[in-house]
Structure 1
């Protein structure tokens, strides 16, 4: 989408917001997607109206979704452990397992995609309210976590992970 097209779409969203009190298209969402260079989000949010052909989803967005999904599974598994197993995991990895985000300065595409998915698309509600800025490079580690989590999920056929799985996935 060209810069001129973005300006026109933004202006149309402003007109829509000022004249239409309710409707299927959220003008604020349109503005946020344009501002964050996340036109791909249109095909995710408005799938009945536009397609991925109209606004293709970049590979980094799919990777971000995989990372968020892995961390969703890790955090959910940890929450279901008993207190003794939680303590074992904390002792082994040094803290509670929690998605810390991406480096907002150097991993900007993933950082921005995560914010759009969490805040605007409401796809990963459990991470809402977090800054998602790790303030240090984390993408390499996230990729390792995704691979290890996939391996464990395949073995467990999608069931929650146990303490040993969590330690194996997260121990550095």
Structure 2
């Protein structure tokens, strides 16, 4: 077993066409951003000279693609909370008193432990202006793991047929944590 650096694992290839396109893009960016000429000039030299060792630097500002299952899960949670909130709003006042308001409010996701869920959620609500009824003035960082709770709720919601018009009892079944065994 050798003690070599594993540069091979991160080596990237760009075709001549890709290099030409990137080269032109960096030239345009240099013209549009005179205060950042040095930054774009370095990127331009990497591309033009084919310095493959530094190709990964070209993409340092681009995150890895978000796995589809994460975006689907976030949207499912948001749809579920939309149904809960609209249904809660339709309840009579005496029925609402049986359900603590904080239980129906969307908390967000944990920014530390669930960062992909958290950032996609913020994008969907804040940048894409979707699910505005779930807007949270405190942000979308729950500051605790909430995925186990949401996944439990999604199972219940699935059994309810992903209904959007929920009864009081159905809301309670979604937002009430299961009893802990002693």
Do Structure 1 and Structure 2 share a fold, with TM-score over 0.5?
Answer: yes
Moved over 6 A (4+): none
The alignment covers a number of residue pairs equal to 127
- 1:112 matched residue in structure 2: 119
SS of corresponding position for 2:70: helix
Identify unmatched segments of 5+ residues in structure 1. 16-33, 41-56
Q: 1:123 to 1:63 in 2, by over 3 A?
A: same
CA offsets per residue over residues 41-99 of structure 1, 9 Å max, x none?
Answer: xxxxxxxxxxxxxxxx6220111111111111111111110100000122xxx844110
- 1:58 matched residue in structure 2: 68
Q: TM-score, normalised by structure 2?
A: 0.59
Distance 2:128 2:148 in 1: 25
CA contact (8 A) 2:106 2:136 kept: no
Q: 1:71 to 1:120 in 2, by over 3 A?
A: same
- 1:164 matched residue in structure 2: 169
- Answering whether residue 108 of structure 2 is matched by residue 98 of structure 1, we say no
Distance 2:168 2:64 in 1: 37
Q: Which of these residues, 139, 144, 148, is aligned with residue 136 of structure 1?
A: 144
Distance 2:77 2:152 in 1: 10
Deviation, 1:101, is 0.7
Identify unmatched segments of 5+ residues in structure 2. 1-11, 13-18, 33-59, 178-182
Deviation, 1:38, is 7.8
- 1:88 matched residue in structure 2: 98
CA contact (8 A) 1:36 1:112 kept: no
CA contact (8 A) 2:71 2:117 kept: yes
CA contact (8 A) 1:153 1:161 kept: no
Q: TM-score, normalised by structure 1?
A: 0.62
CA contact (8 A) 1:101 1:133 kept: yes
Distance 1:139 1:127 in 2: 17
CA offsets per residue over residues 111-153 of structure 1, 9 Å max, x none?
Answer: 0000011111112111234301110000111111112122224
Distance 2:176 2:131 in 1: 24
Q: 1:66 to 1:159 in 2, by over 3 A?
A: closer
- 2:157 matched residue in structure 1: 149
